Amino acid sequence: MFHIYCPYCAEYREEEEFHPKGQAHIARPADPTATSDDTWGEYLFFRDNPRGVHHELWVHAVGCRKFFNITRDTRSYAILETYRMGDQPSVTAESMILAERDAECGVTSTATMQGVPS
């Protein structure tokens, strides 16, 4: 049972209020007619299934009805960040690697948990 911070309601709510809608940041090709069958098929059917950081689209279905994004670690199920539609994630697989490297070097990272007040 996830505890999800809705970036529009600005509150933590129970998972039951939300629906997952798959991978986030999949843009519909701007000019579908100029898109090849392969590219269109890629857009329609192919999704990432990473072990680790994953950006997902969710909707606060029985709350504010707003769509938003969750960055989640598929290994631990930790939610690293939630952010509004149109925003870009501040936590990514790359930033996590950098943060881990920094942590090894004794540098404290401020990149995690942004937008998720505790």
Partner 1 sequence: MSSTQSFRLASESGVGSQIDCDKPLSFIFNGKSYPGYAGDTLASALLANGVDVVNRSFKYSRPRGIVAAGAEEPNAIVQLGSSEAAQVPNVRATQQTLFDGLTARSTNGWPDAQRDMMGLIGKLGGPFMPVGFYYKTFKAPASMWLTYEKYIRKAAGLGRAPTESDPDIYDHMNRHCEVLVIGAGPAGLMAALAAASSGVRVILCDEQPVFGGSLLDSAETIDGMAAFDWALDAVERLAALENVTLLPRTTANGYFDHNFVTLHERRTEHLGDTAPTLDGRRQPRSRLHRIRARHVVLASGAHERPLVYAGNDVPGNLVAGALSTYIRRYAVRPGKRLVLSTTNDYAYRTALDWQNAGGEVVAVADARANPDGELVERAKAAGIRIISGSAVVEATSDRKGHRVNGARVAAIDIEGFRVSGEVELLNCDTVATSGGYSPVVHLAAHTGVRPVWRDDILGFVPGQTIAAFEGFGVVGAAAGVYAAAGVFESAVTQVKRALASDGIDAEEVQIPIVETFREGAAVAMYQVPHDKPTMRAPKQFVDLQNDVTAAAIELATKEGFESIEHVKRYTAMGFGTDQGKLGNINGMAITARCLGQTIPQTGTTVFRPNYTPVNFGAIVGRHCRELFDPERYTAMHQWHVEHGAKFEDVGQWKRPWYYPQKRRERADGKLESMHEAVVRECRAVREKVGVLDASTLGKIDIQGPDAREFLGRIYTNGWEKLAVGKARYGLMCKDDGMVMDDGVTTCLADNHFLMTTTTGGAAAILEWLELWHQTEWPELEVYFTSVTDHWATMTLTGPEARNLLSELTDIDLDRDSFKFMEWREGIVAGVPARVYRISFTGELSFEVNVQANYAMQVWEALFDHGEKYGLTPYGTETMHVLRAEKGFIIVGQDTDGSMTPEDLGMHWCVGYNKPYSWIGKRALTRSDTRREDRKQLVGLKPLEANVVLEEGAQIVLDPKQAIPMRMVGHVTSSYYSPTLEHGFALAVVKGGHKRLGEKVYLPMPDGVTHVAEVVGSIFYDPKGQRQNI
Task: State which residue, 33 or 49, has the beta carbon closest to partner 1.
Answer: 33
Which of 86/106 has CB closer to partner 1? 86
Q: How far is the CB of 65 from partner 1 (least distance, A)?
A: 6
Strand intervals (E) in the chain: 3-6, 11-14, 19-23, 53-59, 67-73, 79-84
User: Where are the alpha helices (H) located in the chain, listed in sequence order?
Assistant: 37-45, 93-104
d(CA 20, CA 90): 20
Query: Looking at beta carbons only, is 9 or 59 nearer to partner 1?
Result: 59
Shortest Å distance, C-beta 100 to partner 1: 12
Binding interface with partner 1 (CB under 8 A) = 1-3, 14, 19, 21, 28, 31-33, 35, 37, 40-41, 43-45, 57, 59, 61, 65-67, 73, 76-80, 85-86, 118
Nearer to partner 1, 98 or 112 (CB): 112
Min separation Cβ 29 and partner 1, Å: 8
- Distance in angstroms between the alpha carbons of the first and the last residue of the chain: 18
Task: Count CB neighbours of 69 within 10 A.
Answer: 22
